[in-house]
Each structure stands twice: as C-alpha cells, then as structure tokens.
C-alpha cells in the first residue's frame, strides 16, 4: 500500500492498520524479518539501474557515487543485518545476585511496534532503506517518509517497496511538510529522523507529546584539522574527495579545514590541484561531479560565497540554470561570516590557519558538537590529543567519510548533531526494547521477605543487603 500526497493522508487510519498488523504478532518471527531483509536486497539488485537514474534526475549524481553510497553501502548493511539478526534476537542470560536466588534472569529484545522513519534528500535511498532495514530486523512495522525534495527517488521508493516487502507492515508516505506534520501528530513507538537540526527540533517537540523515543540524525559543521606532520598530498586528496562527493551535500562532508599555519599555503595549493585532477579544468563538464538539489539551495550557496567567504583560491563559479556550483576553496573567511556560521552542505571548502593543535581544539570546542571530525597527522600523540580534547558523533583519522562504512561502528551525532545511533547492532538495538525477565519457581519461598517485619528479620535482612 502506498499513501501518496494526491490523496489526503489519513495518518490515524494508517497508524491503526499497521498497529493491527503488529498486534497480530506476524512481524516477530525470525523468518518474517529475514524475508523483509531479503526483499530489500532483491530490490536493490533488481532496481539498481532505476535508482541510479532517479539519483541522476534528482541530484545529477555520477553513477559511481550512486552505486557506492546509495546502493552498495545499503547492500552491505542489509547483508550484515541478515547475517546477525538471528543471534541478536536471542535472549541474553545474566547472573542474579544472592538476594533473588534461586532464579534465572534474561534480557529479551522485543520489537517496539510501529515506527516512523523520515528521510532527507541527499542520500535518499540509503537514508530511507537503512533505518527501515534496522526497524524490520528488529520486528517492527514501518511508515517510511522519503523526502519530497528528491521526487524521483521518492516516487521510486513508493513504487518499489510495496513490491518487495510485506505491504501490511510497511507503508511509504510521500509528501512534504503538511503530510509529515500529520504523521508527527500520531503516536508512534519510535521516530527515526534524518535531516536538519532545525527540523530535528520540530520532531523532538512532536515526539515529546507522546513520550515517543527518537533517534535524531542531524547535521552541522564537521571540522577537519590538518597538522603539520600530515602527508599533505594524501590529506588534500582525501579531503577533496570527502568534500566534493555528491557536490558537498553530505551530512559528514568536511565542512571546513583548520590547518597549521606553516603548511596552510601548501595545503591550499594541493587542494586546488586536486580539484583539477578529479574534475579537469572545467568541472562543469565532468561526469564525476554532481549538481545542487534545487534552486533554493543553490541561491543559499551563492549567498554564502558572496558574504565574506574569504579569498577564493579555486572555483567560485555558479551556473544557476544548470544547478552548478563549482568545487570551491576559500581561504581565511571571517569566523563570523555566514560560511563559517551555517552548515555549508555544498561544494565550498573554507580553509583557516591555526597556530597549532590546541588552537584547533579550542576553535572546535567553542562551537556546537559536530557529527564528524577529521584529523590528518603523522604523529600519533597529536591524533590522540585531538580525539581526547574534542567531542563529535564520530572521528575519522587520515581519511574522510569512511567511518560511516563499517556496520560494527555505531553512526550518530552528539549534542546539536543528534542523538542515538544506528548501523549494525546499534540499529537493531534502537528499534528494540531490552525487556528484563526474572523467573523464579514456587519453592523455596522464604518467609523472611514478608510482613510482619520482626527485629530478627530486619537483622538478617541488613546482613544480606549490605
Ligand atoms: P530537512 O530537515 O529539511 O528535511 C528532512 C525531512 O524532514 C524531509 O523528509 C522533510 O520532508 C521533513 N520536513 C522538513 N520540514 C519539516 C517540518 N517543518 N516539519 C516536519 N517535517 C519536515 O533536511 P534535508 O534538507 O532533507 O537534509 C539536509 C540536512 O540533513 C542537513 O542538515 C544534513 O546535515 C542532515 N543530514 C544528516 C544526516 C545524518 O545521518 N546525520 C544524513 C543526511 C543529512
């Protein structure tokens, strides 16, 4: 079943019908969960070309980036979930203290119920399917809300998902703010939101009305620090790759670079050279560079470049009709300029010199906690110092983006960049309740526990409960 915007959304009826499916108990067995994960994997194989085309239509995305980020990464995560869900579902036995012995105690993971997954437009396949997959692996029903700003991908998800999944347990709702607001008014058992910090607040307020648990996967300005001991050629290549992937529209893109003053000019030269190596002298003609999602975002980026963005060392061109913002390096913008205040979310990379690692740490910790932090250094003590002195959702050392890839690493933010995490076991856990179950037999039944409480009983109790 697909509820799409031309028909007014009846969120209450939708909620009820999914709840009826959940209450029937059919989503709990391992076989049902495995069937959903297998369905998603089949869909990713069967529809890979359709999805690549949808990503090209929405984001002008190069094929390689679509396969890598939205299809390949999602398939790896699906395989990991399918491989491990059977063991994650099993109750875990824990020891009991003398005070309750003899007894057995177990932690039993149980599905939460009916969950709402809200996705953004920048990786519209991965960021819808992966949270859904974790929810299904944990035995939940799902309402999936793709982003209206990636309409081709949203339509593809709405058409495909019902063909591969239990249609009474998973529903795709296409739509914008109005439909999402209607969904948020309902009581769900979990809301998994990926998007901006501003809308994250809207979701948190709505969730609070029903005390619904949430995971908020938000954004922000992810810093990169380059120490003088770093291999600058490798740093420039890896920073440029992470920044200009998907035309900079990546939640964990290096937002800006802090670099030791003594190597700043060198790094800027190498970053500029790297742009030419990746995309040629005219990046607009390159098949390997994407486009900005829509005119509003393009104008926003143009505004960031106009307002005190620093000295442009590479790029700077904007072709509004073509949705093109050139891969751009700017040097020494004012920390007060909009480009250093707002999440850039586009192919503009500010570079600022700092005296040393301590100054970089002070700069980073004076700002909201970021989703990702990148450190490039040859010296292990510097790397450890920066990791220890700062807080961020995740850290990647001497590379960008890649800490997102291992399914065994929880992915999520901290502070303004979000709360909660997923990928692999972490995703299964957020969509499960860890129910404590203590089992005792009828005998022995020590009378000590029960009134009347005599001084003798109290004495024994005090001895045991020390
Ligand atoms: P967004 O917050 O504008 O939209 C996200 C979702 O919320 C969409 O489905 C949209 O329809 C819905 N929405 C928008 N306004 C709403 C409102 N007022 N009430 C209810 N729902 C509303 O985000 P976006 O522009 O799609 O994505 C970009 C942001 O997402 C960036 O900040 C980026 O850093 C962040 N992001 C984070 C991650 C992560 O994993 N942490 C991943 C990708 C993107």
Question: How confident is the model over 401-455, as pLDDT tens digits?
Answer: 999 999 999 999 999 999 999 999 999 999 999 999 999 999 999 887 889 999 9
For residue 148, give the ligand 1 atom closest to its CA: 11
Nearest CA, atom 9, ligand 1:
147
Q: How confident is the model at residue 7 (pLDDT cuts 50, 70, 90)?
A: low
Active site residue 251: yes
Pocket of ligand 1 (CB under 6 A): 118-122, 127, 145, 147-149, 176-177, 180-181, 194-196, 199, 202, 217-219, 251, 343, 345, 371, 413, 418
In the predicted model, what is the mean pLDDT of residues 171-175? 96
Strands of 281-333, DSSP E: 311-314, 318-319, 324-325, 328-331
Nearest CA, atom 22, ligand 1:
177
Q: What's the pLDDT at 2? A: 46
Nearest CA, atom 15, ligand 1:
177
For residue 184, give the ligand 1 atom closest to its CA: 20
**Residue pLDDT, tens place only, 231-270:** 999 999 999 999 999 999 999 999 999 999 999 999 999 9
Bridge-based pairing state of the strands 114-118 and 141-145: parallel
For residue 217, give the ligand 1 atom closest to its CA: 41
Structure tokens at 310: 């620093």
Structure tokens at 15: 């909620």
Nearest CA, atom 14, ligand 1:
177
For residue 319, report the distance from its CA to the centre of ligand 1, in Å. 25
For residue 191, report the distance from its CA to the centre of ligand 1, in Å. 13
Give, in degrees to the nearest 5, the angle at Cα 84 between 83 and 86. 105
Q: How confident is the model at residue 5 (pLDDT cuts 50, 70, 90)?
A: very low
Catalytic choice (65, 130, 217, 361): 217
For residue 418, report the distance from its CA to the centre of ligand 1, in Å. 12
More confident residue, 170 or 9: 170
To the nearest 10°, report the CA torsion of 233, 238, 239, 242. Answer: 160
Ligand 1 site-directed mutation target among 196, 204, 220, 293, most atoms within 8 Å of CB = 196
Does residue 4 have a pLDDT over 70?
no
Q: What's the pLDDT at 103? A: 97
Q: What's the pLDDT at 457? A: 87
Q: Which residues pair with residue 274 across a beta bridge?
A: none
What mean pLDDT is reported for the chain?
A: 96
Q: What's the pLDDT at 3? A: 45
Does residue 109 have a pLDDT over 90?
yes
Structure tokens at 340: 């250093």
Contacts of 398 (CB under 8 A, 6+ apart): 230, 231, 234, 235, 238, 375, 376, 377
Q: What's the pLDDT at 446? A: 83
Query: How far, in Å, CA of 57 to CA of 7, rounded?
Result: 25
Which region among 282-291, 302-311, 352-361, 374-383 has the lowest average model confidence (pLDDT)? 302-311
Where do we find the tokens 């050392």?
Answer: 397
Q: What's the pLDDT at 98? A: 86
For residue 407, report the distance from its CA to the centre of ligand 1, in Å. 23
C-alpha closest to that of 6 among 148, 120, 123? 148
- Cβ atoms 449, 249 nearer than 8 A: no
Q: Structural domain boundaries of the chain?
A: 2-218+416-435, 223-407
For residue 175, report the distance from its CA to the centre of ligand 1, in Å. 13
- Cβ atoms 305, 328 nearer than 8 A: yes
Structure tokens at 185: 């008014």
More confident residue, 223 or 447: 223
Q: Is the dihedral of CA 382, 384, 387, 390 positive or negative?
A: negative
For residue 168, report the distance from its CA to the centre of ligand 1, in Å. 27
Structure tokens at 96: 């009991």
**Residue pLDDT, tens place only, 289-344:** 999 999 999 999 999 998 788 999 999 999 999 999 999 999 999 999 999 999 99
Nearest CA, atom 13, ligand 1:
177
Q: Is the dihedral of CA 27, 31, 34, 35 positive or negative?
A: negative
- Percent helix, strand and coil across the chain, each to the nearest 5: 45, 20, 35
Query: How far, in Å, CA of 62 to CA of 286, rounded?
Result: 9
Give, in degrees to the nearest 5, the angle at Cα 38 between 32 and 39. 90
Where do we find the tokens 């997959």?
Answer: 133
Bridge-based pairing state of the strands 394-397 and 170-173: unpaired
CATH architecture designation of domain 223-407: 3-Layer(aba) Sandwich (3.40)
Query: Is it true that the peptide bond before 452 is cis, omega within 30 degrees of 0?
Result: yes
Query: How far, in Å, CA of 244 to CA of 327, rounded?
Result: 7
Q: What's the pLDDT at 44? A: 97
Bridge-based pairing state of the strands 318-319 and 324-325: antiparallel
Ligand 1 site-directed mutation target among 143, 148, 192, 195, most atoms within 8 Å of CB = 195
Question: What's the CATH fold of domain 2-218+416-435?
Answer: Aldehyde Dehydrogenase; Chain A, domain 1 (3.40.605)
For residue 180, report the distance from its CA to the centre of ligand 1, in Å. 11
Active site residue 153: no
Q: How confident is the model at residue 8 (pLDDT cuts 50, 70, 90)?
A: low
For residue 202, give the ligand 1 atom closest to its CA: 19
**Residue pLDDT, tens place only, 143-157:** 999 999 999 999 999
């Amino acid at each position: 079943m697909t509820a799409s915007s031309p028909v007014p959304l009846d969120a209450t009826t939708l909620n009820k019908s999914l709840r009826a499916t959940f209450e029937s108990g059919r989503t709990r067995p391992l076989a049902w969960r495995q069937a959903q994960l297998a369905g998603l994997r089949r869909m990713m194989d069967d529809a890979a070309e359709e999805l690549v085309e949808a990503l090209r239509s929405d984001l002008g995305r190069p094929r390689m980036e679509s396969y890598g980020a939205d299809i390949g990464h999602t398939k790896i995560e699906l395989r990991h979930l399918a491989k491990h869900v059977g063991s994650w579902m099993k109750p875990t036995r824990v020891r009991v203290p003398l005070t309750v012995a003899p007894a057995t105690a177990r932690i039993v993971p149980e599905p939460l119920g009916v969950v709402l997954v809200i996705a953004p437009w920048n990786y519209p396949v991965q960021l819808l399917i992966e949270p859904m997959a974790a929810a299904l692996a944990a035995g939940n029903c799902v309402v999936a809300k793709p982003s209206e700003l990636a309409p081709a991908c949203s339509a593809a998800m709405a058409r495909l998902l019902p063909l591969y999944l239990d249609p009474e347990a998973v529903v795709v709702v296409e739509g914008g703010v109005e439909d999402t607001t209607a969904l948020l008014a309902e009581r769900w058992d979990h809301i998994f939101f990926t998007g901006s910090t501003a809308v994250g607040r809207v979701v948190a307020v709505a969730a609070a009305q029903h005390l619904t648990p949430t995971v908020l996967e938000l954004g922000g300005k992810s810093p990169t620090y380059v120490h003088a001991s770093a291999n600058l050629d490798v740093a420039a290549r890896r920073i440029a790759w992470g920044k200009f992937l998907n035309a900079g529209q990546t939640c964990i893109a290096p937002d800006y670079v802090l670099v030791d003053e003594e190597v700043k000019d060198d790094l800027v030269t190498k970053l500029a050279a790297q742009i030419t190596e990746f995309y040629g002298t005219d990046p607009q003609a390159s098949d390997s560079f994407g486009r900005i999602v829509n005119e509003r975002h393009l104008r926003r980026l143009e505004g960031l470049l106009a307002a005190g963005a620093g000295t442009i060392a590479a790029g700077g061109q904007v072709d509004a009709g073509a949705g093109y913002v050139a891969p751009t390096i700017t040097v020494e913008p004012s920390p007060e300029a909009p480009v250093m205040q707002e999440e850039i979310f586009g192919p503009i990379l500010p570079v600022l010199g700092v005296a040393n690692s301590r100054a970089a740490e002070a700069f980073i910790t004076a700002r909201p906690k970021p989703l990702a932090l990148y450190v490039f250094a040859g010296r292990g003590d510097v790397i450890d110092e920066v990791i220890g002195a700062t807080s961020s959702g995740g850290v990647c050392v001497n590379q960008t983006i890649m800490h997102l890839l291992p399914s065994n690493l929880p992915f999520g933010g901290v502070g303004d960049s979000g709360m909660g995490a997923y990928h692999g076991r972490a995703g299964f856990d957020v969509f499960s309740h860890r129910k404590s179950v203590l089992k005792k037999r009828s005998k022995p039944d020590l009378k000590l526990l029960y009134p009347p409480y005599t001084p003798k009983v109290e004495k024994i109790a005090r001895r045991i409960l020390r």
